[in-house]
Amino acid sequence: MNKFLTRLIHSVIYRKGAEGFLQLYYFKRQSTSDLFSEWSTERVFLEQLIDKMEIKAGQFVDIGASDGFSFSSTYGFAKSGKFSGLSVEMNWQKFLKMSVVYSEFPLVSVARVKVTPKNIVELLQGFHIKEDFDVLNLDIDSYDLHVLESMLRVFRPKIISMEFNEKIPLGIFFTVDYFDEHFWRGDHFFGCSLEAACQLLFVKGYFLHRLIESNAVFVSEELLSEQVNSIPYDQAYLDSYVNSKERASLYPFNSNVNYWLDLELDEAINEIQNFFRDYNGLYTLRKA
């Protein structure tokens, strides 16, 4: 039933315009409030992590929030009434859906903005985000690493949950570089490797706490405790992706690049360069 209702709502808003928007609004008022995000493993994990850290009320930022509820990792914080926050989405259709749902969450602001390394600090300051806010979720399918690097010059969130490009093997630093016209084409060219994310965040005083599929959860080092521990990123990557029995079912779209994992580093880098030849000059790729 849940999958059917999700498809129905997507169909309503995408195909019926303003009428669909109103139908979504009234449907949302009558539906179970957790209907759309109950499948999010990351959401459950982040909420449990916040409990372990004994944060009863706080502030979150979700950059690349999609519609704010389908598989959202921050929807529970918004709905709780105990967290203020900001959810940002550029796609107008997804943003409209999020605006309807979040209209009942007075502590949470929404914004339709293309987030870049140049505007991230001003954006957060404009919405009165605290420099030490609690949870950042970052998933913009592009130059995420550069956005994060710019943000960390001013802000220091306690928890950072970010998507990484899981198909890039260990030992390789890869990131999409910032260029204003970039948009994700639905292919393998997005984000950064786990090595690149760790390289930036370890220097900034964060440790890797968990990998959840292609999302990495980092925590600031001052919050390290018996309950909130650090894990080795290389072993975590091998366990959660390379050697996972569910890899084929979870990532069927990676079947044409799985062989990268079996190559020596130099060979893998050459293969990745060739694969991304249409993006020459738009990324950084090297040994970590």
- Of 141, 123, 146, 143, nearest to 133 by C-alpha is 123
- Band (pLDDT 50/70/90 cuts) for residue 226 is confident
> What are the helix and strand counts (H, E) for the chain?
11, 9
Q: How big, in percent rounded to 5, are the helix, strand and coil portions of the chain?
A: 40, 15, 40
pLDDT at res. 69 = 87
What is the C-alpha to C-alpha distance for residues 63 and 93, in angstroms, rounded to an integer? 16
pLDDT at res. 41 = 84
146 — phi, psi (to 5°)?
-70, -35
Residue 218 has pLDDT above 50, yes or no: yes
pLDDT at res. 28 = 53
Q: What is the mean pLDDT of residues 193-208?
A: 98
Tell me the per-residue pLDDT of 126-162, one tens digit each, with 9 for 90 and over: 999 999 999 999 999 999 999 999 999 999 999 999 9
Tell me the per-residue pLDDT of 244-285, one tens digit each, with 9 for 90 and over: 999 999 999 999 999 999 999 999 999 999 999 999 999 999
- Band (pLDDT 50/70/90 cuts) for residue 105 is very high
- Domains in the chain, CATH or no CATH each: 2-287 (3.40.50.150)
What is the C-alpha to C-alpha distance for residues 49 and 46, in angstroms, rounded to an integer? 5
What is the C-alpha to C-alpha distance for residues 225 and 232, in angstroms, rounded to an integer? 16
pLDDT more than 70, % of the chain: 86
Q: What is the mean pLDDT of residues 217-228?
A: 93
pLDDT at res. 25 = 54
**Alpha helices, H only, 31-184:** 41-52, 75-80, 92-102, 120-126, 144-151
